[in-house]
Amino acid sequence: MPAKKTTNKTTDAKLDASLPRGINLLQNPAYNKGTAFTEEERNQLGLRGLLPPRVHTQAEQVIRVMENFRKKPTDLERYIYMIALQDRNETLFYRVVMDNLESMMPIIYTPTVGQACQLYGHIFRRPRGLYISLKDKGNILKVLENWPYRDVRVIVVTDGERILGLGDLGAFGMGIPVGKLSLYTACAGIHPAYCLPITIDVGTDNESLLKDPLYTGLVQKRIRGAAYDEFVDEFVEATQKLFPKAIVQLEDFANTNAFRLLKNLRDRVCSFDDDIQGTAGVALAGVMTALRVTGGQLKNQKLLFLGAGEAGIGIGDLTAFAMMKEGLSEAEARNRCWFVDSKGLVVKSRTDLSDHKLHYAHDHAQITDFQQAIEALKPTAIIGVSGRPRMFSQPIVEAMARINERPIIFALSNPTSKAECTAEEAYRWTKGRAIFASGSPFDPVNYEGKTFVPGQGNNAYIFPGVGLGAIACDAKLIVDEMFYAAAKSLADQVTDYDLSLGRIYPALTRMREVSAQIAVAVAEVGYKDKLARCKRPADLLAHVESLMYDPTYQSYI
């Protein structure tokens, strides 16, 4: 992986004989520096007269970008502006994002990326990533060969069926892989040349998109069953042949496919599902951190989930894994995790449960109301992963506060419009006693003279570091132990100052440092479990940091 100083042809233009010149150089986002080209570069690279005469530093360019960013009237306009910058000057884009992550992450990812995906064909400027559609069946390898880089290390792929909490957006879902990979670079320093966003287009069942003249995908219903599996199998085999060192991250697949795909891939391909395993890692880290406030051991907690899909079951599985580390049997650990789905409490007497819920079907009378489930089970934490807004009502939150001195309340559904409750509601309804986290950001809350800074349980705390760690040790597979190690590392990096603010995750400004430490923890698992394909360096942290891309301009002459 390219370090800050590199001789890799994709990143060091000085050694690249194919370096474009003149107007072609200015139109290539990987090489373009805009007004930062020096006088000598302008002379030797055919740029004289194509740029205004004054040479600016990158720092001055950042000032210009931020000035225009702040003038945009809406978050969607800010998203469009930043994507346009990424299309024009990739290095400057990442410099701006890294230096202003708290401002940028809600724009280039959740919640704004959700709105952008809903309108993706309407705001389309230039294509990013690869679209692989049913038209390419039998020819997927050749389509992948159109990608300009061969040393791909991270692929984020979606079929667009379950974009955030917004449902089936088909080919419009491309905004998610693009956004995720931007965070891989911004948060963990994985060079953009190593990142490949892919959308698999197998149709859409969204009638409004099928009627939209600006929809960019196939105008047909989704294929399912054996035909779908054959198409995905061809895709996976092609990626393994062309990009043998690439991690395949599954993103925003619907429940009907996500669990099956993960089960089929996890033991033969270096892969993971972020909605299942990444969400699990960040949520488990949040619970671990919360216990520093409430006291007690993880194995003695009782978690009640609202929602039993990918996120909920993923969190349950990793939490049970962590409880087993503390001495519980698998059955005992699973019995500490309870689920309420759209039809009520998940119990053994139900005959309508899908396979992924069966491990959490416990002996209990059926309860259809979430508040009644709280009263009956007396959980120490409620975790919202339902995709249904405002489901944590005032009576529900007040019930948690009555049962627990410091109730743990996680409203993790994305985007912000789908959150089960707001930060302000959680703090006000518990009289400031809640330990709160959400999937999308909320502003600080002032309650009775104290300011609370709510934690954002964003997967960006987990997946970039996991990916970096897998790259650092050249992992053959990504296993649950790695996500447990990532969660523990993340929780360990929360400071007492963070906790004093009510924040159970580190500040976003520390994201690269946090990701580096997570990468070390993940790589250590790779070496311990003999999943690494390279020798362990003497100083693993230094090795990880040497791999992290720094978006500063390099001289081309």
- Could you give the CA distance from residue 2 to residue 145 in angstroms, rounded to a whole number? 22
The verdict on whether omega for the bond into residue 415 sits within 30 degrees of 0, i.e. cis, is yes
Tens-place pLDDT, residues 85-96: 999 999 999 999
pLDDT at 16: 52
Q: 165 phi and psi, to 5 degrees?
A: -105, 20
- What single letter denotes the amino acid at residue 420? E
Tens-place pLDDT, residues 263-293: 999 999 999 999 999 999 999 999 999 999 9
List 446's β-bridge partners, or say none: 451
- pTM over 0.75, yes/no: yes
Q: Which domains does the chain have, with CATH numbers?
A: 13-106 (1.20.1370.30), 107-269 (3.40.50.10380), 278-458 (3.40.50.720)
Sheet holding 130-133, edge to edge: 130-133, 195-201, 154-158, 247-250, 271-273
* Residue of 310, 420, 422 lying closest to 356 (CA atoms): 310
Please give the span between the terminal C-alpha atoms of the chain, in angstroms, as a whole number.
23
* Residue of 429, 357, 360 lying closest to 390 (CA atoms): 429
Ranges of the chain with pLDDT below 70: 1-17
- Could you give the CA distance from residue 117 to residue 124 in angstroms, rounded to a whole number? 10
Catalogue the E-assigned strands of 254-369. Answer: 271-273, 303-306, 337-341, 344-345
pLDDT at 165: 86
- Could you give the CA distance from residue 418 to residue 111 in angstroms, rounded to a whole number? 10
pLDDT at 557: 86
pLDDT at 14: 41
pLDDT at 10: 37
Identify the DSSP state of 222.
P
Rg (CA), the chain: 24
The verdict on whether omega for the bond into residue 111 sits within 30 degrees of 0, i.e. cis, is yes
User: Residue 306: how many CB atoms within 10 A of its CB?
Assistant: 27
Q: 127: number of CA atoms within 13 Å, CB side? A: 11
- Could you give the CA distance from residue 470 to residue 475 in angstroms, rounded to a whole number? 5
Token output for 460: 């960006």
Identify the DSSP state of 473.
H
* Residue of 237, 230, 149 lying closest to 193 (CA atoms): 149
Token output for 492: 């360990």
| Residues with active-site annotation | 109, 180
User: Residue 211: how many CB atoms within 10 A of its CB?
Assistant: 9
The DSSP H or E segment spanning 60 is helix 58-71
